[in-house]
Amino acid sequence: MSEQRLSRRSVIAGSSVGLVSAAAGCIEEGGLLGGGGGSDGPIIGVLEDRSGEFALNGESKWQATLMAIEEINADGGVLGEEVEVYDPDPQSDNERYQELTREAINSEQVDALWAAYSSADREAIRPIVNDHDQLYFYTTQYEGGVCDETVFPVGATARQQLGAVIPWMIEEFGDEIYIINADYNFGNISQDWVRLLADEEGAEIVGSEEIPLGETDFASTINDIQAEDPDFIASMLVGSDHENFYDQRADNELDIPIGSSTTMAQGYEHERLDPPGLADIYVGVNYMPELETEASEEFTDKFYDEYPDAEYVNQEAQNNYFSVYLWKEAVEEAGTFDQDEVIAQLESGMEVDAPEGTIELDPATHHMTHHMRIGHSDEDHNITFDEEQYIEPSFLHEVGCDLTEESETTQYEPSDFYDGI
């Protein structure tokens, strides 16, 4: 291509020769009437859904973040200063996320941002985050692949979760797999990972279906699975509509075990749905509150003391909690709230004591190495854990993402790097 790609920065430079912005450039950043904006002390932005589609998942993320900040403030704050919180409700709404992110960055001038449950919301605000080089923690488990200079996606990736559960399922139950997944980015990329992992293990995919988000009737899906009679099902269903699958599965006595990356740890289906809908579901997680380690029990005790009415403290709530502490430690070691320096500190490689265990940040990719467990629900929906592995974010290493060497703001997908999927 002869024409060079315009980078966003050069475009901004271009615009500053524009008449209007030149005029605007003459005035103060805050305008004639606007104040300096933001608070004097440190402040973080917490945009987590408490209404709309993702409220079920967002609520405890929000609660756990506030709890972490309260603990930190009670313990003397960060660098001796009390941390404030800017936490309006984004209502699971894309545009609102964009508006509030601009508010958080421009008006509140947050020192770090925690925001978004869904990947779509993350993608909606990432251009704004990039524009302002804002330090941003995205904590949901997600499809993986984000290689972005100021973004720290600290949740487990699909590769980490499925890497824990799929090979184990193949060994335990057999090598014929039927895949069902929500028909969107996360689901489709997860399907790609299942195929890659099956390939590595010499297993066979006997069928697959991409199911639209919002589908409630699984009669046809269940019949298709029955016709193939696989050894196990790899399921990446998402959202409350897809939950109907579990009851319909029980009604149809579809007792084929399920390996999953999406159930229970986020939406606590095992507590909300009556048994035996989730019987013999195995989920790859980095955290569930049923985990009986000392750190986990300490965390859940504190959480339920703080929020006695809370329904569940999910995997993402844990991720928010430890990442606030991760940020605190980075700030204190850097000795400043300056975001570039905090990012540099984080990129020096850090460790944090999380409820899931002590985990490390991978400097090159900004992802965490996680303790991945296999949570198993029995027919009474009791949770036990089967195996634990310490899995690093290998995919981005393989594609050559190294943010300590080269800044970029890309999202990589496995289908761009592997054949046969």
Partner 1 sequence: MSVKSSIGVLANRLREPFEGPNTIGNTNGFWIGFLLTVLLFAIYPILFGPYAALNPAQFLVFALLAVSLTFIWGFCGILSFGQVAFFGVAGYTFGIVTINIPTYTGATLGIIIAVAVATAFAAVIGYFMFYGGVRDVYVTILTLVVALVLHTFMEQTAGSQWTIGEAHLGGYNGMNVPQDLAVGFGETGVAFDGVAHYYVVLFTLVVTYLLLRAVVNSRFGYAMVATREDEARTEMFGYNTTFIKLAAFTVGGAIAGISGVLFVTWGAYINPSQFELVAATMPVIYASIGGRKSFAGTILAAVAIQYLELQLTGEWAFVIVGSLLVLIILTMPDGIAPRVRNLVLAVGEWRSNRDRSGQSPPAEEVSD
Partner 2 sequence: MSTDTIPDAVYVVLRIFFEFTHSFGLLVLATVGLAVIFGMMGIINLAHGEFILIGAYGTTLSFHAGLPLPLAMVTGVAVTTVVGLILERTVIRHLYDRLLDSMVATFGLSLVIIQLTRILFGNTTNNVSLSMGSISYGPYSSGTYRILLAVIALVVLAVLYWVFTRTKFGLRARATMQDAETARAMGVNTDRMYMLTFGLGAALAGLTGALFTPAFTVDPEIGSEFLVESFVTVVVGGPSVLIGTSLGGALLGTIDAMFTWIGGSFLGEIMILIAAIIAIRIMPEGITGLLEDWRQKRREDE
Residues found near partner 1 in the complex (CB under 8 A): 3-6, 8, 11-12, 14-15, 17-18, 20-21, 24, 27-34, 37, 50-51, 88-89, 91, 93-96, 98-100, 102-103, 106-107, 119-120, 123-124, 126-128, 183-185, 187-189, 210, 212-213, 413, 415-416
Which option in partner 2, partner 1, none does residue 230 bind, with CB closer than 5 to 8 A by kind? none
Enumerate residues 94-133 that contact partner 2 by CB under 8 A.
none
CA distances (Å), origin 382, targets 50, 263, 268, 274: 28, 14, 12, 12
Among residues 270, 229, 237, 236, which one has the least CA distance to residue 253? 229
Q: Does 53 interact with partner 2 (rule: CB under 8 A)?
A: yes
**Cα-flanking dihedrals φ and ψ of residue 360, to 5°?**
-110, 150
We find the least distance from the C-beta atom of residue 294 to partner 1, in angstroms, to be 35
Is 256 among the residues that bind partner 2 (CB under 8 A)?
no
Q: Based on the shown chain and the rule CB under 8 A, indicate whether residue 332 belongs to the binding site for partner 2.
A: no
Interface residue with partner 2 among 132, 272, 302, 397 (CB under 8 A) is 272
Q: Which of 84, 87, 121, 243 binds partner 2 (CB under 8 A)?
A: 243
Nearest distance from C-beta of residue 361 to partner 1, angstroms: 24
Distance of CA 109 to the CA centre of its chain: 24
Cβ atoms within 10 Å of 404's Cβ, excluding its own: 14
Scanning 15-23, 67-75, 221-229, 381-389 for contacts with partner 2 by CB under 8 A, the matching segment is: 221-229
| Binding-site size, partner 2 (CB under 8 A) | 38
Q: Is residue 378 a contact residue for partner 2 (CB under 8 A)?
A: no
**Residue among 184 and 322 whose Cβ is closer to partner 1:** 184
CA 279 from chain centre, in angstroms, equals 26
DSSP 3-state assignment of 271?
Answer: helix
327, 83 Cβ separation under 8 angstroms: no
The residues, ordered by sequence, that sit 6+ positions from 149 with a Cβ below 8 Å of its Cβ are 130, 133, 343, 403, 407, 408, 409
Q: How far is the CB of 59 from partner 2 (least distance, A)?
A: 6
Query: Which of 183, 199 has the CB closer to partner 2?
Result: 183
Angle between helices 294-306 and 315-334 (to 10 degrees): 100
Q: Identify the residue whose tokens are 């869904």.
A: 118
- List the x/- string, 182-211, binding to partner 2 by CB under 8 A: -x-------------------------xxx
ω into residue 90 within 30 of 0, thus cis?
no
Inter-CA distances, 208 with 107, 213, 227, 255, 265, Å: 47, 16, 12, 18, 24
Residues that bind partner 2 (CB under 8 A): 51-53, 55-56, 59, 183, 209-212, 214-217, 219-223, 226-227, 229, 240-241, 243-244, 247-248, 250-253, 272-274, 277, 311
